[in-house]
Chain A
Amino acid sequence: MKDDAGPVDPGGESPASPPEFPSQSAAETSSQTRQLRFTGDGREYFRIWIVNVALTLLTLGIYSAWAKVRARRYLYGNVWLGDDAFDYTANPVAILRGRVVLLLVLVPVSLAQRVSILYYYAALLVLMPLVPWVVVRARSFHMRNSRHRSLAFDFSGRYWDAAVWYPLSWAASIVTLGLVRPLTVFGRDRFLVTESSFGNRTFGFTGRPGPYYRMYVITAVVVGVLYVGGVFFVLLVVVGRSMATGADPGTAAPDMGAFMIGTLAIVGLVMLFVAAYLRTRLLCYRWNSSRLGGNEFSLTLSFPTMLWLYASNAAAIVTTFGLFIPFARIRFLRYVVGEFRVLQREDPDAYEAGDRQSVGATGAEAAGEFGLEIGI
């Protein structure tokens, strides 16, 4: 679901006029709050998704780039600020090229793993310097291909800044046992927001490190309790069952199944909490601290609702063998997009185009592959 939170993109400016091709007058600039609208429909998106999957399978994966653009165009085209929808303009050929390059990098790495685990770690170390590059390219590609009222978003972060907030800050988090993690996430968010722009205007960031520490402390406590309690419970069940188990000479070790399922359940619970609490709060805080000129943003998502959305979506995806995925995306976006508000103080007509050049999609595809996508 994360990568398709894309359409919740920053800074759309909307006219204060009724729909149906109104003529614009620049006079309407008094401040007002506007809500994003999401008009996507689960059944409609399911049809697009299943045809995409079928064509991707029939073309041995080549169509996947066109499929991605088509799905995104559907989602973006159903996010409205006032009576203006968003536009996704990525070139499928660029995405395909990115995927091919990615494959050329990843296949040797996984082959290295087959030869020796040492080669594998060596390969990962060699790839590390590419991470900041991937981050910058991914975000640029994503932003430059997102448009509102014909103007593109942009991202102008540079390699060394990304290097600080990605690989180097990971290292710092490990060395300090996670103590500086909230600080580095704060820095990363500020980097991502302040290097972003819409047209010729740059986003501003008013966040402070304090709230990040609060979010991470709460998360650490809850995850710790879940983990300790869960492991204790699983051990109890596994040991209990192995005492009473019947015989079954077979390939699998006894009760490894129960153990695996128990471990998976704990991991699932932790992931559920992290998604519904930490990731949600981070997303809200980042938006609530963002500015575009005089415009402010407000995003308030409730923990119980997010928990319910994630849990019910996951359960439905499991029981339908994945066929629920498109419905899950739509449900998710309908809630998140619907809660997004823009406090408009600027004339929506007054934005001007920025300078731009085209960006290859290799970074974007690599970012998706490594789960780096930041989908603002």
Chain B
Amino acid sequence: MNAVACRYYDGKSSRRKAAALTFTDAGDLIVDGAELEERLVYRDVRIPNRVADTPRFIHLPDGAVCEVQDNDALDELRVRLRRDDPEPRRDRFWRLVHRLDSTWRGAAAALAVVATVMYSFTRWGAPAVASLVVATTPQEAEALLGQNGLNLLRQLEVLETSALEPNRRNDLLAAFEEMKREAGVEHADLQFYSLGAPNAFALPGGTVVVTDELVEFAEHDEEIIAVLAHELGHVEGRHVLRSMAQRSTLLALWTAVTGDVSLAALSVLGPDQLIAQSYSRDFERAADEFAADYLLRAGVSPTRLGDILERLERESGTGSFPTWLSSHPAAADRARSAMERAGDRDEPGP
């Protein structure tokens, strides 16, 4: 019977001895060689599983160690000795793992599994987790987050004090209060700032910011109402918080998988942008729907939102952006779907 060359260490010193290793029919391991004083027999020895072609160190019950570098010979010897006995389940599992990770076909299968799981998690898992997070986050914590963001923008003088006439402001505030009451949204407040460009956005915690420039840009008050309704839709869905939760859930998963926060952060940097954009488009659609519903109830044409968005887009020249790259569905799409919605609803009943 062939033996496998090994290096024998007695477990007491770093001195090594050349030896040969083989198994008896009963599965006992025998170490023997000219440099050893006697033939050594061990029962119940566990052969470590194979990792690529790295040396295998067999740790023997008395603390001695047998190092085998010829992995193929060791595997062959074990297969031959097993004869008809079934292979222990543990060994079979590790042989399968070795087959997977020593061939490109196995690696491709693993890659397919990883891609599928990551995609499904992004698509369904993360939003579900985010809903849970959003539901359990106290309103005060969210408001604090929004307040910090707002303070930062003001400190950096990105946002400056509004120069709107008090009357104009009060009219819009009153309209916003009415909208809140009608739509049943509790935590929301409207603030005006000057930014240098027409814009409106919702912060976590329910603060909606509208810029002076947007108020001036609007050709009709109903357009401002439409934008406010859209932003209130973001507040109602707690979209900013939800988006943050979805993205950090993905980071957490990848950190758990790679076992290193900095490596995981680097890995999700690229996909994060794409994913954030795609989540964000979902949110825009939800806010558009919320706005259209409200506007119909309030007797305002939902096309007002599409109108002002389209003009804004023309003005700033972002219309040529492909939809999948932009966080907002193209204004033309939104105007169209708003009109379809208005068409559906406006049909006179019997």
- CB of B259 within 8 A of CB of A64, answer yes
B85: shortest Cβ distance to chain A, in Å?
Answer: 25
Cα A179 to Cα B256 in complex, Å, equals: 36
Instruction: Judge whether B246 is part of the interface by a CB distance below 8 angstroms.
Output: no
| Chain A residues within an 8 Å CB radius of B198 | 247
- CB of A89 within 8 A of CB of B256, answer no
Given contact pairs A249-B214, A251-B284, a sample of 9 additional A-B residue pairs in the complex whose CB atoms are under 8 Å apart? A21-B7, A23-B17, A26-B15, A46-B107, A53-B258, A54-B117, A150-B16, A249-B230, A318-B267
| Chain A residues within an 8 Å CB radius of B239 | 251
Q: Which of B183-223 contact A (CB under 8 A)?
A: 195-203, 209, 213-214, 217
Listed in ascending order, the chain B residues whose CB lies under 8 Å from chain A are 5-7, 9, 11-18, 35, 51-52, 54-55, 57, 59, 63-65, 67, 97, 100-104, 106-107, 109-111, 113-114, 117, 136-138, 141, 149, 153, 156-158, 195-203, 209, 213-214, 217, 227, 230-231, 234, 239-240, 243, 254, 256-264, 266-271, 280, 283-284, 287, 309, 312, 315-318, 327-328
- CB of A250 within 8 A of CB of B327, answer yes
- CB of A321 within 8 A of CB of B234, answer no
B30: shortest Cβ distance to chain A, in Å?
Answer: 17
Number of interface residues of A (CB under 8 A): 78
A-B contact pairs, 22 of them (CB 8 A): A24-B17, A51-B106, A54-B111, A57-B114, A64-B257, A64-B259, A74-B52, A74-B54, A77-B51, A150-B57, A150-B64, A150-B65, A239-B156, A243-B196, A248-B316, A250-B201, A251-B240, A253-B149, A317-B266, A322-B263, A322-B267, A350-B13
Cα A319 to Cα B266 in complex, Å, equals: 9
B109: shortest Cβ distance to chain A, in Å?
Answer: 8
Instruction: Judge whether A175 is part of the interface by a CB distance below 8 angstroms.
Output: no
- CB of A352 within 8 A of CB of B12, answer yes
Cα A281 to Cα B331 in complex, Å, equals: 54
A35: shortest Cβ distance to chain B, in Å?
Answer: 19
A149: contacting residue among B14, B227, B328, CB under 8 A: B14
- CB of A150 within 8 A of CB of B234, answer no
Cα A76 to Cα B209 in complex, Å, equals: 57
- CB of A349 within 8 A of CB of B13, answer yes
A249: contacting residue among B15, B227, B268, CB under 8 A: B227
| Nearest 7 interchain pairs by C-beta | A246-B316, A77-B54, A322-B267, A150-B9, A54-B110, A150-B65, A351-B14
- CB of B259 within 8 A of CB of A246, answer no
Asked if A253 meets B209 with Cβ closer than 8 Å, knowing A50-B110, A64-B256, A259-B156, the reply is: yes
Cα A138 to Cα B100 in complex, Å, equals: 31
| Chain B residues within an 8 Å CB radius of A271 | 262
Cα A107 to Cα B346 in complex, Å, equals: 52
- CB of B201 within 8 A of CB of A253, answer yes
| Chain B residues within an 8 Å CB radius of A252 | 201, 240, 280, 327
A15: shortest Cβ distance to chain B, in Å?
Answer: 8
- CB of A23 within 8 A of CB of B35, answer yes
A239: contacting residue among B111, B158, B315, CB under 8 A: B158
Instruction: Judge whether A129 is part of the interface by a CB distance below 8 angstroms.
Output: no
Residues 327-345 of chain A: 1 if any B CB is under 8 Å from the residue's CB, otherwise 0? Answer: 0000000000000000000
- CB of B284 within 8 A of CB of A250, answer yes
Instruction: Judge whether A360 is part of the interface by a CB distance below 8 angstroms.
Output: no
Cα A215 to Cα B12 in complex, Å, equals: 41
For B263, give the chain A residue with the smallest CB separation.
A325
| Chain A residues within an 8 Å CB radius of B287 | 251
- CB of B267 within 8 A of CB of A48, answer no
Asked if A322 meets B312 with Cβ closer than 8 Å, knowing A78-B54, A150-B11, A250-B328, the reply is: no
Instruction: Judge whether A312 is part of the interface by a CB distance below 8 angstroms.
Output: no
- CB of B18 within 8 A of CB of A22, answer yes
Asked if A256 meets B149 with Cβ closer than 8 Å, knowing A1-B263, A21-B18, the reply is: yes
A13: shortest Cβ distance to chain B, in Å?
Answer: 6
Cα A252 to Cα B55 in complex, Å, equals: 55
Instruction: Judge whether A188 is part of the interface by a CB distance below 8 angstroms.
Output: no
Cα A319 to Cα B270 in complex, Å, equals: 6
- CB of B195 within 8 A of CB of A55, answer no
Instruction: Judge whether A235 is part of the interface by a CB distance below 8 angstroms.
Output: yes
For A115, give the chain B residue with the smallest CB separation.
B138
Cα A314 to Cα B13 in complex, Å, equals: 43
Cα A13 to Cα B136 in complex, Å, equals: 57
Q: Which of A139-159 contact B (CB under 8 A)?
A: 147-151
Cα A147 to Cα B271 in complex, Å, equals: 40
- CB of B9 within 8 A of CB of A149, answer yes
Asked if A368 meets B259 with Cβ closer than 8 Å, knowing A51-B97, A77-B55, A242-B195, the reply is: yes
For B12, give the chain A residue with the smallest CB separation.
A353
- CB of B117 within 8 A of CB of A57, answer yes
- CB of A47 within 8 A of CB of B102, answer yes
A348: shortest Cβ distance to chain B, in Å?
Answer: 6
For B311, give the chain A residue with the smallest CB separation.
A247
Instruction: Judge whether A3 is part of the interface by a CB distance below 8 angstroms.
Output: yes
A76: shortest Cβ distance to chain B, in Å?
Answer: 8
| Chain A residues within an 8 Å CB radius of B263 | 1, 317, 322, 325
- CB of B197 within 8 A of CB of A254, answer yes
| Chain B residues within an 8 Å CB radius of A300 | none
Asked if A85 meets B54 with Cβ closer than 8 Å, knowing A150-B65, A250-B328, A353-B11, the reply is: yes
